[in-house]
Amino acid sequence: MMEIYLDNGATTKPCKECVEKVVEMLTVKYGNPSSLHEKGFEAEQEIESARAVIAQNLNANASEVYFTSGGTEANNIAILGSAAANKKRGKKIVTTAMEHSSVYNSAKALEKEGFDVVYLKPDENGQVTLEQIEKAVDEETILVSMMLVNNEVGTVFPVEKIKKIIIQKKSPALLHIDAVQAFGKIPINAEKLSADLLTISAHKVHGPKGVGALYKRKDAHIFARTFGGEQQKKLRPGTEAVPLIAGFGEAVKQINLTKQYEKIYQLNKYFKEKILNMKEISINSPQNAIPYIINISTNEIKSETMLNFLSSKGIFVSSGSACAKGKKSRVLSEMKLPEQRIDTALRISFSKYNTIEDIDEFLRQLTFGIKNLAHI
């Protein structure tokens, strides 16, 4: 059976170059990068090479990039580390109700420690406004945390204007940007975004699972949340996962933003044109959503039922964030969508490996499923 993988928002297929690099690091350059001999040096060089290429793609200095086990750990370090380091300056945090669970649940944990967390509510398009941010930020705010691209509906948030608001409000707040769903898809310039902290993940860009990175502006003050050796300036200690880090760097080298974006834009456009005449389908993603993600509802067949049917045909999509493990979408609920649309939602997410033929077969099977599963 031919596989059609349209769940690239959950994870992506590692590229050939990444896989080859990981194998090389496991079998040839397997030294501990902290060891003071040749095997250690060659492993350390691979880490620094990956750090440099990732920094270049963020328009950052290599010294500002720290490797983690993924986006979740990077977000935890950014949020919990900021709160711990700056709580004497204030105890207010501003974020949104649309955030990934690693941000949302970190904020919930800080509430239990006495922090005042403001969760900005989105409109029906899944967007928050600069006016909402301006109203929420004050002199007691020590952190503003917001995603650049939403992982379920693809909304692009106005993060590039936030730092200006922070300065205008005379707030000491650090700005954290969760760029996991944006990195490798749209240009990211940490300096232009005025980010103090920014987080990314390898497995969203055809790299390996188990590795991500935190950008921390040189003079951004945060505390470590784990303790160990001297690695990575003690912010994220522990022996580095060299094979995964090197694979991450290799995957980033393969990114061609302009070429990939144009291809995905055309796939998204074709998909939308095809479903325009399907009266059963509603589009939940806003008009300005990133083309890599499109969230739809069948309005008739529950998500789990349709997912199982499509999976039996070798077609793989999701009902929302993979980290939610099938729970009802908090994002769609916050957008105040009708229950029927929430319960029948599907997220289709594209990669450079997808084709027009993939979309045609997906829609053929989706149409069949809508017609036949309703009677089961």
- The model's confidence at residue 325, banded by pLDDT at 50, 70 and 90, is low
End-to-end CA distance of the chain: 24
In the prediction, which pLDDT does 323 show? 53
- pLDDT tens column, 142-170: 999 999 999 999 999 999 999 999 999 99
Topology adopted by domain 4-13+256-373: Aspartate Aminotransferase, domain 1 (3.90.1150)
Contact between 50 and 66 (Cβ < 8 Å): no
Q: What is the pLDDT of residue 374?
A: 74
Helix (H) or strand (E) holding 80: helix 71-86
Residue ranges of the chain that CATH labels 3.90.1150.10: 4-13+256-373
Outline which parts of the chain fall under CATH 3.40.640.10: 16-253
Q: Worst-scoring range by mean pLDDT, 83-87, 179-183, 348-352, 370-374? A: 370-374
- Assess whether pLDDT exceeds 60 at residue 331: yes
pLDDT at position 108? 97
Quick one: CA dihedral 280, 321, 209, 314, positive or negative? negative
**CA–CA separation, 371 and 376 (whole Å):** 10
- At 194-217, the pLDDT tens digits run 999 999 999 999 999 999 999 999
- Render pLDDT for 277-304 as a digit per residue (tens, 0 to 9): 888 899 999 999 999 999 999 998 999 9
Q: What is residue 326's predicted lDDT score, i.e. its pLDDT?
A: 57
pLDDT at 21: 98
Q: What is the CATH number of domain 16-253?
A: 3.40.640.10
Q: Using an 8 Å Cβ cutoff, are 238 and 99 in contact?
A: no
Q: pLDDT averaged over the chain?
A: 95
Residue 126 reports pLDDT greater than 80: yes
- For 67, residues 6+ apart whose C-beta sits below 8 A from its C-beta are 47, 50, 51, 211, 212, 213, 232, 236, 240, 241, 245, 248
Kindly state the tokens that stand for 82. 């900021």
**What's the mean pLDDT in 166-175?**
96
User: What is the pLDDT at residue 143?
Assistant: 98
Taking each helix axis from N to C end, the angle separating 38-58 and 242-253, rounded to the nearest 10 degrees, works out to 40
Residue 261 has pLDDT above 90, yes or no: yes
Query: Which residues are known catalytic residues?
Result: 323
For the cut 90, the answer to whether the pLDDT of residue 218 exceeds it is: yes
**Residue 2 confidence class, pLDDT cut points 50, 70, 90:** confident
Q: How does pLDDT run across 229-256, given as a tens digit for each residue?
A: 889 888 999 999 999 999 999 999 999 9
* DSSP run (H or E) holding 24: helix 16-27
What's the pTM value of the predicted model, to 2 decimals? 0.95
Of the ranges 121-130, 132-141, 322-331, which one carries the lowest mean pLDDT score? 322-331
